[in-house]
Amino acid sequence: MSADKRLYIAEEGGKRLDLFLSEQTEEFTRSRIKKLIEDGRVQVGGTVAKKCGDIVKAGQEVVLEVPLPVAMDAHPENIPLDVIYQDADLAVVNKAKGMAVHAGSGNEEGTLVNALLYALDSLSGIGGVLRPGIVHRIDKDTTGLLVVAKNDAAHLSLAKQIAEKTCHRIYYALLEGNVKEDSGRIVTDIARHKTERKQMAVVRDGEGKIAVTDYEVVCRFGGDFTLCRFILQTGRTHQIRVHAKHMGHPVVGDPVYGFKKQKLSVEDGQLLHAHTLIFAHPRTGEEMTFHAPLPKTFEEILSKLTKKYAVEVEI
């Protein structure tokens, strides 16, 4: 494959094509995007775009083809993988902690993509040579559910459901401190941190991408910790972790966004788990619901907290 194909679906209409793509792609300058459009590397609604100033309509599919300097195809690796469901169109995977979803700086091997290429009979090509089949991501040290597309039609359908918020992704996280409100909605712009380029940050409106997260308190452990259920309305990089920090209650064990001094010692990353995934099957339209139990470390810590604070937790 000579290009990395990336699919975006416009949640809102009325923006210029070059502006829309600059907001979707963090690594490209406007001049780089302009060149890609001029080279015929962008399709809007299945038609090659002609001008940077073309207006993108709500719901339109925009495919960006990024030429690859080197065709570095991911290769299959026999890595243990918890595939909880699969058929001819998709697979649902319970990702383990410590596994990156796809190749990047410092993790060219041992990724979910490497494991998928070994375990599954096919993957969609829309994600490009390094991200075949990947419709959405979760962080390396976050555990839980991902849906993977095995063909391009399934990929387009699932990506559209995520964009239109008909695909539901529910997470559980243990947070530092006492979250006062029983439920709420966090709405901010999120962008790349200005100095720490591997981190994301809440920025002023209009300076990043809109990020919306709903939350519900499941259980409070005195004033020390709060178990929360999070429902993603958008899917920005590190969204829940950044929003938790923004609330003043970072995820327990988060080495990047957490407090420097934490009350609980968690050696292998943040206590954040993608627990529930609900979507319509791309071929049949049937609603499909999947759950992944909390990983062992998360369960053990909750068990200790429930005994210490004499409370019950129901997930």
Tell me the residue ranges of DSSP E strands in 193-305: 200-203, 209-221, 225-232, 272-280, 287-291
> Quick one: which of 169, 134, 137, 139 has its CA closest to 155?
134
CA 250, 190, 130, 197 dihedral sign is: negative
CB 240 within 8 A of CB 171: yes
Split at pLDDT 50, 70, 90, the class of 1 is very low
CB 73 within 8 A of CB 129: yes
Of 89, 139, 141, 254, the catalytic one is 139
Strand partners, 44: 47, 62
Fold of the domain spanning 82-163 = Pseudouridine synthase (3.30.2350)
Query: pLDDT tens, 207-236?
Result: 888 999 999 999 999 999 999 999 999 999
pLDDT at 180 over 60: yes
Question: pLDDT at position 75, please?
Answer: 86
Asked: is 3-67 a CATH 3.30.450.20 domain? The reply is: no
Domain ranges of the chain: 3-67, 82-163, 168-309
Q: Which residue has the higher pLDDT, 72 or 36?
A: 36
| 3-class secondary structure, 248 | coil
> Quick one: which of 147, 163, 151 has its CA closest to 125?
151
| 3-class secondary structure, 115 | helix
Split at pLDDT 50, 70, 90, the class of 261 is confident
Burial class (CB in 10 A: 0-12, 13-18, 19+), 270: buried
d(CA 76, CA 128): 15
Q: Please give the structure tokens belonging to residue 77.
A: 């690796």
Residues contacting 141, CB < 8 A, separation 6+? 97, 98, 255, 268, 269, 270
Q: Is 139 one of the annotated active-site residues of the chain?
A: yes
Two domains, one topology: 82-163 and 168-309: yes
- Crossing angle for the helix pair 17-24 and 30-38, nearest 10 degrees? 120
Q: Which residue has the higher pLDDT, 32 or 208?
A: 208
Residues contacting 96, CB < 8 A, separation 6+? 80, 82, 143, 295
Split at pLDDT 50, 70, 90, the class of 206 is confident
pLDDT at 25 over 80: no
- Supply the CATH classification number for the domain 168-309: 3.30.2350.10
Find the mean pLDDT for residues 242-270. Answer: 92
Highest mean pLDDT among 9-13, 105-109, 293-297: 293-297
Residues contacting 98, CB < 8 A, separation 6+? 140, 141, 268, 269
Query: pLDDT tens, 85-105?
Result: 999 999 999 999 999 998 765
Question: pLDDT at position 71, please?
Answer: 44
Query: pLDDT tens, 142-174?
Result: 999 999 999 999 998 999 999 889 999 999 999
Question: pLDDT at position 17, please?
Answer: 95
Question: pLDDT at position 107, please?
Answer: 61
% of the chain surpassing 90 pLDDT: 73
d(CA 41, CA 189): 28
pLDDT at 114 over 60: yes
Least confident of 77-86, 159-168, 171-180, 258-267: 258-267
